[in-house]
Each structure stands twice: as structure tokens, then as C-alpha cells.
Amino acid sequence: MSNPSLTTATPAIDPSFENVWDELVWRGLVHVSTDPEALRALLAGPAITYYCGFDPTAPSLHLGNLVQLLTLRRIQLAGHKPLGLVGGSTGLIGDPRPTAERTLNTRETVEEWVGRLRAQVERYLSFEGDNAARIVNNLDWTAPLSAIDFLREIGKHYRVGTMLKKDAVAARLNSDAGISYTEFSYQILQGLDFLELYRQYGCVLQTGGSDQWGNLTSGTDLIHRVEGVSAHAIGTPLITNSDGTKFGKSEGNAIWLDAEMCSPYRMYQFWLGTADADVIDRLKVFTFLTRAEIEEYAALVEAEPFRRAAQKRLALEVVATVHGIDAAAAVIAASEALFGQGDLAVLDAATLRSALEELPNAQVAAGSSVVDALVATGLVSSASEARRAIAQGGVSIDGVRVEADDATVPLGLPGGVSVLRRGKKTLAGLLPA
């Protein structure tokens, strides 16, 4: 197995699969779909146009969205033409959550978030060649549509009884919050999107999370009613951990794709923490490693789980995909240096600071007491305990053992920070006050 710190998988078609449908199934990306045999034939034939939508209900996409972005890319690699839809109109409403009504964002906020999400979606697609991607905004066709035209041309094709049976709607109807007509209408707007994309680009496939299945089939049903043709949908599974905990959360915080909202270092550490029981499934979903490579890592998990080779490769691949190979290399260097396997003094300043912010940390002034810093970071509970730890030779700062209890904090690492260590594995960050 090659050194994962030096190589990453270039997105490419896995030669072990005759059809991208078979690859999607093997990777566990098909939880529910319209006619599987028809889809397999469709994806094996001439290039089709397909799409996935992303609503700007936050200023960044997250790991759940990454499943869809990588699925879009896999199908494009097989020769098909992707449309990345950013919901300038549906983002003004938001799809119904199972518990309570969304707070509507201002038009200005949604417009700003549309731009941010568009830039994120573009990172995962190719805009060159015969199957070049295209980014679309559903505000372009909904904004000119009057309420009367919407009701006459689109609303008439929907039956309220069917709409009430959709999972998201049914959950809200059975909750104390109920559901507004605004959110109830969301599935009609998403159906309209698929119809418009079929009319404009010949789009015949939509992908999305299985929790969106009601919205996905809203479009396939509408196209069949209005145009008399069959369109298709694929619902990917919701990713869950084997222990039942929610995937994509780190101490209660979402793992965002925006580096300002979730640093590459924090993302890297999140993936390093993947359980052995989950790591192979994560490699299938979140990397472009081939089936043969993933099977090698599965064998390593069985034979040498203590090496955590699969977790290291997973963390590298995802960070490189989301933030670039340079960012991935920087966080690997920081991670190794913090634990004594590299030179702290040569690390990238921004990466080092983001790493220290993930550790217990305190703001201190250069020249302040190491004893006080040990207490401030929580590495010890009192000044007397700090002095005993120093006397026993168990404290270092920036990789240098602290010899005396009157030692001071240098803040001499890149970015004006220091790394405080007690024992072999207990670290804290010291940031400039």
C-alpha cells in the first residue's frame, strides 16, 4: 500500500465496473430509486442530463451534501451531463423539517448564500468537454411566474391527498407545530424544477437524499403527467454511524465544507476518529479509491486495526477533495508535529493555529509564567500541581522540556503561538492574548 501522505486518488472511472449504476450500488449509494433495471440501462447508454439541488438555507454545504456532490461527480465521470441546481427560490422557503417551521431568511441573505453555495458546488464538477457541467438557479424560472399561472399550470396536477402522504408533511401534521401552506407547497416547487430542467435541457434523472424522496418523486410524477414521459430518481441513504450516533457531528457541531466554518484540521481529525466498523463504508461513499484499493484497506482493518491505515487514508482523501492537496498536507504535518513526529517551527501558521484551537487552550501574553499557563489550559488543577509536574520532567513547551518552575511562555511558533505538553499525549494551545 502506497504512503497515503504522498498520494491521493484522482477521480476516475473504476475499471472493475461495467456500469456506473453497478458502482453506485456497490458503494451503498442507492437506498431507493425508480425502476432499477431502467436506470441501469439508462446509465449504460448515451449521455443523459441529470441534476441535484442544493438549497441555500445556510452559508455553507455540509458533509450530508458532500454525498450528493460526489455522486454527481461519479455519474459525470461515466460520461453523463450534470446540472448543479442552487435553489434561489426554494431557499427562500426551505424544505419542511420533521419538527418545526423554518425561520425565513431575508432575500439578501439567500442571494448571498446562493453565491457561496454555487462556488462550492462548482469545485466538484468539470465544466469542460462534451459532458460539461452547468450551474442553474431555480429563481430564474420561478421569479417571472405569477401566482395564477403557478396554480393553473402546475398546481392543478397535484392531489392534496397524495401530498399529505409525503413523509416530511405527514411528520409535521402529526407534530404540535403543524405545517404552513408555504412549506406544504415546497414539494410542488421542487417538482416544477425537474419539469423545467426536463424542458430546457432534457434532464431525466434527479439524485438526492432518501429523506427527500417525496420531493424527488414530485418531479417524476409531474413530468409524467405533463409530458407523458418517464423520468427517474435515485435516493441515497442517510449516513449513520454503526453505534447509532448521528454522522457528521463533532461534539455537536456540523462539519461544514467552508474552511472558515470548519477548519481543514478539524475536518481531518473528524475523519481520523472514524470507527473501524464504519471506515470501509466511508471510503466507499466519500472517496474515489477503487474497489480493489478499498478491499486492501478492509483487509488492513481486519489484520492491523491499531495502525488505523484506513482512517488515515480516508481523512487525507476527504480533506484533499474538499480543501485541496496542499491543505491536506499541511494538516497532516501539523497533526504529526503536535505529537512529536515533526518540527513545529516549520508549520503553516494558519493551520497550526486552527489545530491549537481544537485543543484545550488559553490566551496568554509572551513572557507569562508556564505554571500559570498550565493552570489556565486545564492541564493541571493548581499551581502546586504544575510545579510538581515540572520538577518531575513531565512538561514541555514547543518541544523543549521545561526545567524550572519560573520558566516563561515564548509564543515563538509560527503565528505567535506555543504548544504546551504534559506527559506524552496531553496537549494544550497557547494563543496570543
DSSP percent split of the chain into helix, strand, coil, nearest 5: 50, 15, 35
Claim to verify: residue 102 and residue 215 sit in the same structural domain: yes
129 torsion bin: left (phi>0), alpha (psi -120 to 50), beta (else): left
Claim to verify: residue 232 and residue 247 sit in the same structural domain: no
Which residue, among 123, 134, 166, 127, has the nearest Cα to 51 in the 3D structure?
Answer: 134
**CA-CA-CA-CA torsion sign (51, 55, 56, 58):** negative
Residue 324: CB atoms within 10 Å: 14
Q: Which residues of 16-42 are buried (b: 16+ CB within 10 A; e: fewer)?
A: ebeebbebbeebebbeebbeeeebbeb
In a domain, 1, yes or no: no
Digit-coded pLDDT (tens) for 189-201: 999 999 999 999 9
Please check if 268 is assigned to a binding site.
no
The pLDDT value given to residue 258: 97
Q: How far apart are CA 335 and CA 342, in angstroms?
A: 9
Q: Say what percent of the chain tops pLDDT 70.
A: 97
Q: How far apart are CA 113 and CA 101, in angstroms?
A: 20
Domains in the chain, number: 3
Please check if 50 is assigned to a binding site.
no
In a domain, 354, yes or no: no
Claim to verify: residue 95 and residue 198 sit in the same structural domain: yes
Please check if 120 is assigned to a binding site.
no
Digit-coded pLDDT (tens) for 319-341: 999 999 999 999 999 999 998 88
The pLDDT value given to residue 96: 84
In a domain, 10, yes or no: no
Greater pLDDT, 321 or 12: 321
CATH number at residue 254: 1.10.240.10
Cα-atom radius of gyration of the chain, to the nearest Å?
25
Claim to verify: residue 145 and residue 211 sit in the same structural domain: yes
Give the model's confidence band at 91: pLDDT under 50 very low, under 70 low, under 90 confident, else very high. very high
Task: Quote the mean pLDDT of the chain.
Answer: 93
The pLDDT value given to residue 251: 53
Please check if 190 is assigned to a binding site.
yes
The pLDDT value given to residue 240: 87
Digit-coded pLDDT (tens) for 266-305: 999 999 999 999 999 999 999 999 999 999 999 999 999 9
Which residue, among 274, 93, 232, has the nearest Cα to 168 in the 3D structure?
Answer: 93
pLDDT at 143 over 80: yes
pLDDT at 205 over 80: yes
The pLDDT value given to residue 173: 87
Q: Which residues pair with 395 in a beta bridge?
A: 422
pLDDT at 49 over 50: yes
The pLDDT value given to residue 198: 98
In a domain, 382, yes or no: yes
Greater pLDDT, 126 or 96: 126
Find the mean pLDDT for residues 338-354.
Answer: 91
The residue among 236, 262, 289 that closes a domain is: 236
Claim to verify: residue 245 and residue 229 sit in the same structural domain: no
Give the model's confidence band at 249: pLDDT under 50 very low, under 70 low, under 90 confident, else very high. low
Which residue segment(s) compose the domain that 312 sits in?
240-346
